[in-house]
Structure 1
Amino acid sequence: MREFLKNMKVSFLLASVLYIALGLVLLIWPGISRDLICLSFGLLLLIYGIITIISFFVHDSRLGTFRFELILGIVAAAAGLLFLIKPEFVKSVIPVVLGIYIIIDALLNLKRSLELHSLQYGRWWVILVLSLVSVALGVLILFRPGMTADVLIMVIGGVFVYNGLSDLWSIFKISRITKEYRKNNPIIIDPIDIE
């Protein structure tokens, strides 16, 4: 179990670094980023859809979950074509999807702040404030259609950089406090190791 938690920490760290990298790309090259995101997602969805549809017809049994596989393949291929044929429509939807994603991630950070509070960390409220700011930025992205596309992409990039940095900070703090807590409250059998 301890190994699983360690792998989760590494995954969260990598995700935070990717947030920062993606945010910097969106900040520096907003126009190219929109076009590249649209083209990349379109190609990936189309290829995934085609492979899933072919996979459905290759299998001997076309019952149960394989029907879902066919539906998923058709939806993915159609979405991929939409990304490639109507990129302007998709570009207008991307900020909404990213705004929702930022809000969800900020709510996860909010949960981390409450975990720090339960561990009696004195500055748990800092992560709480950072999480609330992230939620506000995500809502801004969702409900500001008047912004030009490039400015909005740059705002999203800035939010990603901010989100990645706040994630790194909260992961560092939670890890440090957990270590201090275990050091000050030693136990013979760690409940995390019990399976």
Structure 2
Amino acid sequence: MFEKIRNTLIATSVLYLLFGIVMLFFPGLVITSVCYLVGIMFLFVGVSGIVMYMKTEIKTAFTSFTLVMSIIFGAFGVYVLLNPEAFASFLPLVMGIFLLVDSVSKLSMAFDLKKFEYKNWWQMLIVAFILLGCGLLLVFNPFEALAVSVQIIGAILIVDAVSNIFTIYSYSKIDKK
């Protein structure tokens, strides 16, 4: 069990660290890239649905609904591609929600460490509360400057990666008992 947790946390930590570094040092690139990728994705889904509708011989309520949703998705994709700043303003909120969920996970890990009688379990508890605070900050005060928000999110991802490495270390100590 600990081996699977360790491998998952290592992979997660590496990704968090890489994304965190990119977000910290290249926030404008991240904002633009995410907006364009999301816009392209919605546009692709919209166009695919419209093409599927056109190729369908029998028109039903479902295919008509699919056409309407495809038009909405395609229009949203075009909107995001033409107005990436409007879409980008939601990024801190999404990241804040992610951090809130991750902090609950870390809180659970802290109590697992306590249950396994690891003497420094409280350190994971502190990390969980730090992540909780950062998540709440992003949800309730997403800052005026989006680039600063992205840099803060990058720094938080780096902190989260370090906390995952601490978790690996802590669980490896339990595994040796």
Mapped contact 2:16–2:158 kept (Cα < 8 A): yes
- Give distance in 1, aligned partners of 2:53 and 2:121: 50
Point out 4+ residue stretches in structure 1 off by more than 3 angstroms. 4-9, 48-63, 65-82
Alignment gaps of 5+ in structure 1: 182-195
Give the alignment's Cα RMSD to 1 decimal: 3.2
Structure 2 partner of 1:162:
159
Identity %: 26
- Give distance in 2, aligned partners of 1:136 and 1:39: 30
In structure 2, relative to structure 1, the CA distance for the partners of 1:66 and 1:30 (3 Å cut) is same
Mapped contact 2:107–2:124 kept (Cα < 8 A): yes
Mapped contact 2:143–2:149 kept (Cα < 8 A): no
Task: Using structure 2 for the length normalisation, give the TM-score.
Answer: 0.80
Q: CA deviation at 1:142?
A: 1.7
Match 2:140 to one of 131, 138, 143: 143
- Give distance in 2, aligned partners of 1:22 and 1:132: 22
In structure 2, relative to structure 1, the CA distance for the partners of 1:5 and 1:174 (3 Å cut) is closer
Following superposition of structure 1 onto structure 2, how do residues 43-58 of structure 1 map, counting pairs within 5 Å?
43-51=40-48
Say yes or no: does 1:180 pair with 2:173: no
Paired amino acid for 1:163: D
- Give distance in 1, aligned partners of 2:150 and 2:127: 21
Following superposition of structure 1 onto structure 2, how do residues 1-195 of structure 1 map, counting pairs within 5 Å?
6-7=3-4, 9-51=6-48, 77=74, 79-177=76-174, 179-181=175-177
In structure 2, relative to structure 1, the CA distance for the partners of 1:120 and 1:152 (3 Å cut) is same
Matched residue pairs, number?
176
Q: What is the SS of the residue equivalent to 1:147?
A: coil
Mapped contact 2:46–2:69 kept (Cα < 8 A): yes
Q: Deviations over 1:90-136 (max 9, x none)?
A: 11111101111111111111111111111111110100100100110
Mapped contact 2:2–2:172 kept (Cα < 8 A): no
Task: Using structure 1 for the length normalisation, give the TM-score.
Answer: 0.73
